[in-house]
Each structure stands twice: as C-alpha cells, then as structure tokens.
Amino acid sequence: MKKYILGFALLLVMAQIGFAQTASIKNKMEALIQDNFAFAAKQYQYLKANTPDSVMPRSYVLATNTSVTSDTKWWCSGFYPGTLWYLYAYTKDENIRKEAEKRLGILEKEKYYTGNHDLGFMIYCSFGTAYKYTNNPAYKDVVTIAAKSLSTRYRPAIKSIQSWNSRDILKCPVIIDNMMNLELLHWVSDHGGDPVYKEIAVTHANTTIEHQFRPNNSSYHVVDWDLNTATVLKKITWQGAADSSAWSRGQTWGLYGYTMMYRFTKNPAYLNQAKKIAKFILSHPNLPADKVPYWDFDATTIPNAPRDASSGAIMASALLELGQYTSGKEKTEYIKTAETILMALSSEAYRAKLGQNGGFILMHSVGSLPHKSEVDAPLTYADYYFIEGLTRYKDWYLK
C-alpha cells in the first residue's frame, strides 16, 4: 500500500512538473507572438514606404540598400497582401487594412492568369486570406475565378497540373511546389464551386506521390513529362544542389501540401505521406539544431552553406497543422519542432531590426542559389509563412 501511495505521489509530481513546463512554454510563446506582431506592424510601414503603389515588394539587396519589386504576375505577388491581412486580423489597425485593400486592387486582374501554376500563391494567399477575415463575397468571387484559370493547366494525359510552359530542356514540367496551389482548387469546390476542381487536386496529389518521391521520402524538384506518350522523361532539379539532392524548400512544400490535402479529404494516404516527409526532414543528420534548414539538405558546403528561413517558416506552419491531426509522441515532436523554429526566427539571428532589411521581417532566405538569385536575402513568402505560423500557434495552441 505504501509503495502504491509513493508511486501515485511521484506520478502526481511529474504531472505537475509537466503542466508547469507546458504553461511556461505557452507563456513564452504568447509573449513571442505579441512581440512579433507588434514588430511586424511597425516594420511593414517601412516596406510600404519602399514599395511604389503599382508593384509588389519582392526582396531587398543589403549590399546596395536597394529594394527589389515585382509586377503582379510574379509568383510571389500574393504574399505581401496576405501577410497584411494576417497582421490586420491581429492588430485591427485600419491603416494596415487600407494597405491590404490597395494591394488587392492591383492584384485582382491576375485571377485570369493562366501562364503557370502559381494562382494559389498569387490569389488564395491574398484574396483567400482576405475572405477568411472579412467574409467579403467579392473576394470569394476572385478566388473562384482563379480556380477556373488554374484548372486550365490540368493535363489529363499525365493526371497532373503542368507547372511551367516548356522551357529550355523541359517539355512539360511538374514541380513539387505545385502541391501548394491545390488548396485554391479544393477550397473553391468546397465553397460552392465546380466539383471538378477538387477532382483535379486529388488526382494531381496522387500522381505526385507516385512519381515525385524517392524511396527515402524526399522529393525531386521537377518531373518532366512527355504529353504525347504520358511518360516521364526525367527527374531533375531547377533550384536545388543536384538532381539527386533534397532541396529544402521543396521538402517543406510537400510537407505542407499533403498536410493540407488531408485537411480537405481526410484521406489517410495524405496524412501518411505528410508524416513520412516529416520523418525525412526531422531525422536528417544535416538539419541544424535550431531546425532552420540549410538551403539544400545535401549542399556540399554544409555547415557553411546558407540557411533558408523561408523553408523554416513553411515547415513550422505545416508542422503546427500536422500536430492537429496526430497524437502522442508524433504530435509532441511536431509542435516542439515548430516552437523551436518560431523561436529561432524571432531571434536576432533571423529577425531584422526595426527599419532595416528593407522593411521585411526575416533575413537569410534563399530564392534560387544555382541562379544566384535572392541568396541570403529577405523574401515575401518567408514573412508570410512565419506570420501564418504564429497565427496558427495562437489559434490552435494558446487556447
């Protein structure tokens, strides 16, 4: 009896310690989230000032103190207004809302764009996020039209959405990034749109599992198809270190994409795929202690290779959602890893000082190292997924 009482007391003490540790982490994360949103709201005033009204922010060149902008057809054009809507939802600052609405105004025409697969990034991350926080039916209409435009990229012969038009050595390229754009299609079908969009998303996701992944659950960046014969011509990289390497952002696109597909379908195959990708990433010997990846897991210059804050931000946001669909040790690992990343990205190692970095929140991302483009630079999508991750943590884990 005495042993039983001692054992019960020990369990009670351990439970109390565990509860205290959990409460301490939540308190720390709550303070971190408050600090980041307050900082971001001020920092984006500089980004706004550095960006003419007719274009979108893209990056910043520290060496020359030069802002880099883009037209609205650039695949990243939706991230700045999307981030603004997240900031508005938290701060209720009407000046942020006005800026978000102004940027949507120059972006809206891209709902008809059919030049590549990036309508999800361009329109869902902007107008979709705006609709989430406003229920403005005009925003929903834009997203619905964009889904129709994206559906024109579907190629029935290969059961995939063609990412880019033929270029250089590529005939019909499909890239892992395309998984992210399926959210646009699924959402529209689930909100009164044509059911065929969901069918396209599911079919594309299934084809990607079959052809884009290696036995170790890492993904190729590009699968190039022959539309006439419906056969794979080659599997290569466009932005990674080598055809056989694991380009970091590509791995996190896949993680996020299959987690999102499970949200919409509840198909266990998608949850299983997301968990397999997570295992590849989280068990990789080249994943740093702060969990912010090098630009490629197989970069030859590790540990001196550039980090990619954008990959870290995408991974944190994806793992927080994956934690919603798992339990036990898996759930704990996903959430703790996301916490580690968000804390790292909030530190001086990655977060800019107020008024610096061209007005962007995060430093040290990599666009395309092989093309010497946006290397060790701020990027709009790094900011977007960082703020989305903080929002998800607040909404899901601070209750």
Position 183 pLDDT exceeds 80: yes
Give me the phi and psi of 66, to 5 degrees please.
-120, 130
Q: How confident is the model over 128-146, as a mean pLDDT?
A: 98
Domain presence at residue 18: no
9 within some domain: no
Q: Is residue 1 situated within a structural domain?
A: no
Q: Domain range spanning residue 175? A: 29-397
What are the two backbone dihedrals, phi and then psi, of residue 315, each rounded to the nearest 5 degrees? -65, -45
How many CB atoms lie under 10 A from the CB of residue 28?
A: 12
Question: Is 177 one of the annotated active-site residues of the chain?
Answer: yes
- What pTM, to 2 d.p., does this model score? 0.94
Give, in order, the Cα–Cα distances in Å from 258 to each of 112, 176, 181, 212.
Answer: 26, 11, 11, 13
pLDDT digits (tens, 9 = 90+) for 365-398: 999 999 999 999 999 999 999 999 999 999 999 9
CA angle 285, 287, 289 (to 5 degrees): 110
Q: Mean pLDDT over residues 293-301, rounded?
A: 98
Known catalytic residue at 118: yes
Q: How far is residue 86's CA from residue 84's CA, in Å, rounded to a whole number?
A: 5
**Strands, E assignment, the chain:** 56-61, 66-70, 154-155, 160-161, 173-175, 222-226, 231-236, 365-368, 373-377
Q: Mean pLDDT in the chain?
A: 95
- Does residue 56 lie within any of the structural domains? yes
Q: What is the mean pLDDT of residues 34-44?
A: 98
Mean pLDDT value across residues 316-324: 98
Residue 40 lies in a domain: yes
Residue 46 and residue 220: Cα distance in Å, rounded?
38
In 3D space, the residue among 345, 336, 315 whose CA is nearest the CA of residue 397 turns out to be: 336
The pLDDT score that the predictor gives to residue 17 is: 46
How confident is the model at residue 248, as a pLDDT?
98
Q: Which of 35, 71, 118, 243 is the catalytic position?
A: 118
**Tokens (6 digits) for 244:** 């056989």
CB neighbours of 316 closer than 8 A, spacing ≥ 6? 337, 338, 341, 342, 345, 385, 386, 389
Residue 168 is predicted with a pLDDT of 84
- On the question of pLDDT at 12 being above 50, the answer is no
- pLDDT category at 50 given cuts 50, 70, 90 is very high
Residue percentage of the chain with pLDDT more than 70: 95
Q: 257-284 burial string, b = 16+ CB within 10 Å, else e?
A: bbbbbbbbbeeeebbebbbbbbebbeeb
Q: Give CA 175 to chain center in angstroms.
A: 15
Position 68 in a domain: yes
- pLDDT band (50, 70, 90) for residue 111: very high
Return d(Cα 251, Cα 280) in angstroms, integer: 9
CATH number, domain of 117, equals: 1.50.10.10
The two structure tokens encoding residue 146: 């964009």
Looking at 93-227, list the stretches that DSSP marks H as alpha helix, in order from N- to C-terminal side.
94-107, 119, 129-134, 137-151, 182-190, 195-211
Amino acid in the structure at residue 121: F
Question: Would 7 be classed as within a structural domain?
Answer: no
State how many domains the chain has. Answer: 1
Of how many residues is the chain composed?
399
- Asked whether residue 82 is assigned to any structural domain, the reply reads yes
Closest by Cα among 318, 310, 308, 252 to 79: 310
Q: Which amino acid appears at position 126 of this protein?
A: S
**Which CA distances in Å does 210 have to 24, 215, 260?**
43, 11, 18
